Amino acid sequence: MKKSFNKIKVKRSPKRGFYDKETVYKILDQNFICQVAFVYDGYPVIIPTIYGRLKNNIYLHGSPVSRMLQTLEKGNPISINVTQVDGIVLARSAFHHSLNYQSVTIFGNAIVVDNEIERMKVLEIISNQIIPDRWDEVRLPNKKELKATQILKIEISEASAKIRKGPPIDDKKDYNLPIWAGVVPINKSFGNPISDLELKQSVSIPKSVLALIKKNN
Amino acid sequence: MKKSFNKIKVKRSPKRGFYDKETVYKILDQNFICQVAFVYDGYPVIIPTIYGRLKNNIYLHGSPVSRMLQTLEKGNPISINVTQVDGIVLARSAFHHSLNYQSVTIFGNAIVVDNEIERMKVLEIISNQIIPDRWDEVRLPNKKELKATQILKIEISEASAKIRKGPPIDDKKDYNLPIWAGVVPINKSFGNPISDLELKQSVSIPKSVLALIKKNN
């Protein structure tokens, strides 16, 4: 298996472009929300949704009557973006202000996953993308729910990552200005779990939630 | 001025759809990253970028040679999405797992902002969207930098918000299962500012950064 993707060339700030699978997978794996764009009736449509990654595939799911899934399952071109913002970059000049971020863009086409064993596996992958091991704790999908779930697979054939990190880069002469410059990190963290009021008192917070909170906070 | 937008109807989970300006503006104002989708050569393209809102307009900026800006300045249809994830919703059933989120989708067309006074004002708005009052502390754009900056305005004519909040909603019979259910809040917070190593020792952390951190942490 080749280790790099076909290049969707990063045109603005090309030094920030990465095309290797390791970088692309890492960014995909540390997030779970993507934005999906497709063309509908000549117009661009953009919809946020959750995804799962396994090997070189992205999986989306939703209702079979979803306009997005109905459009994509015809094999129409799809563009997917995942963006994580890591910090605000404050320069001495307004012009050189920036963000630190990690972003992946994928172009491809979707196909329907229709094998029932594969479908169940994919739902587990999507679930794990958000909260690992939760799948083992819950009431699994029944036939009716599976019928109400469409699953699409997009092979990651064309992909690029774009990353900015580190301090601001100012014009040489601006370094002498008495203006503060640096980075304000943006962190994602989890708050204390809020138990459902309808919960039986005997049910304690499960392993999956404890592990998630411990890992990320 | 009418208080509601032309409806881009929220088709999936229509109860989560909102079309009033107050709701749309609130979500836009508490974020600064959007995803822009447009059609290029028949294909959907999606690009994350920062934005600013003033009144009923969204402003984008970038290099005049940016493919996105060059496509959009022709007046091609544009779709913009802003999504903020507030929590993971854990149900007793896999099927009813969800996210709490606030999302806005806008359809429209861009026009170029070419008045120099308005351009400078828009750059301040975009800057303030990320970190209020930073504009007053920095070295402002010079002629060369302004020439290297294209600014587009999109009137928010068609827009919708989609919001999910609150506890999981399970099937009635599942409430008896001994499975934990609830919400794990996702919080965005700012870390300690990291001063640029090239900074003069005499420059302390500015008001804008202190206020940002105080407000959000």
B205: left (phi over 0), alpha (psi -120 to 50) or beta: beta
Is the overall model pTM greater than 0.80, yes or no? yes
Say how far apart CA B23 and CA A147 lie, in whole Å.
Answer: 34
- Picking from A43, A98, A38, the residue whose alpha carbon sits closest to that of residue A72 is A38
Number of H helices, E strands in chain A: 5, 11
Report residue B202's pLDDT band, with 50, 70 and 90 as the boundaries.
confident
Q: Tell me the domains of chain B and their CATH numbers.
A: 14-88+100-166 (2.30.110.10)
How deeply is A211 buried, as exposed, middle or buried, from its count of CB atoms within 10 A (0-12, 13-18, 19+)? Answer: middle
Say how far apart CA A5 and CA B66 lie, in whole Å.
Answer: 23
- Picking from B108, B120, B128, the residue whose alpha carbon sits closest to that of residue B149 is B120
Query: Which chain A residues are closer than 8 Å to B48 by Cβ?
Result: 35, 81, 83, 101, 103
pLDDT of residue B1: 52
CB B50 within 8 A of CB B32: yes
Higher pLDDT, A124 or B217: A124
Instruction: For residue B128, give how far its alpha carbon lies from the nearest alpha carbon of chain A (Å).
Output: 11
Q: Which tokens belong to A38?
A: 């497709």
Touching B: A residues 175-204, CB under 8 Å: 175, 177-200, 202-204
Radius of gyration of chain B (CA): 21
Q: Which of A30, A41, A43, A122 to mutate to test binding with chain B, by most B CBs within 10 Å of its CB?
A: A43
Sequence-distant (6+) residues with CB within 8 A of A52 are A32, A58, A59, A122, A125, A126, A127, A128, A129
Per-residue pLDDT reduced to its tens digit, B54-69: 999 999 999 999 989 9
For the residues A181-189, what does the mean pLDDT come to?
96
How deeply is B202 buried, as exposed, middle or buried, from its count of CB atoms within 10 A (0-12, 13-18, 19+)? Answer: exposed
Q: Does B129 touch chain A (CB under 8 A)?
A: no
ipTM here:
0.94
Higher pLDDT, A17 or A27: A27
For chain B, give the mean pLDDT: 94
Per-residue pLDDT reduced to its tens digit, B109-152: 999 999 999 999 999 999 999 999 999 999 999 999 999 999 99
How deeply is A121 buried, as exposed, middle or buried, from its count of CB atoms within 10 A (0-12, 13-18, 19+)? Answer: middle
pLDDT at residue B14 above 90?
Answer: no
Our measurement of the distance from residue B116's CA atom to the centroid of its chain's CA atoms, rounded to an integer in Å, reads 25
Our measurement of the distance from residue B187's CA atom to the centroid of its chain's CA atoms, rounded to an integer in Å, reads 16
Q: Which of A9, A33, A47, A67 to mutate to test binding with chain B, by most B CBs within 10 Å of its CB?
A: A47
Instruction: For residue A45, give how far its alpha carbon lies from the nearest alpha carbon of chain B (Å).
Output: 6
Q: With an 8 Å Cβ cutoff, are A94 and B123 in contact?
A: yes
Instruction: For residue A96, give how far its alpha carbon lies from the nearest alpha carbon of chain B (Å).
Output: 9
Buried b (16+ CB within 10 A) or exposed e, B25-61: bebbeebbbbbbbbbbeebbbbbbbbbbbeeebbbbb
Q: With an 8 Å Cβ cutoff, are B186 and A182 in contact?
A: no
Q: With an 8 Å Cβ cutoff, are A95 and B177 in contact?
A: no
Say how far apart CA A20 and CA B141 lie, in whole Å.
Answer: 36
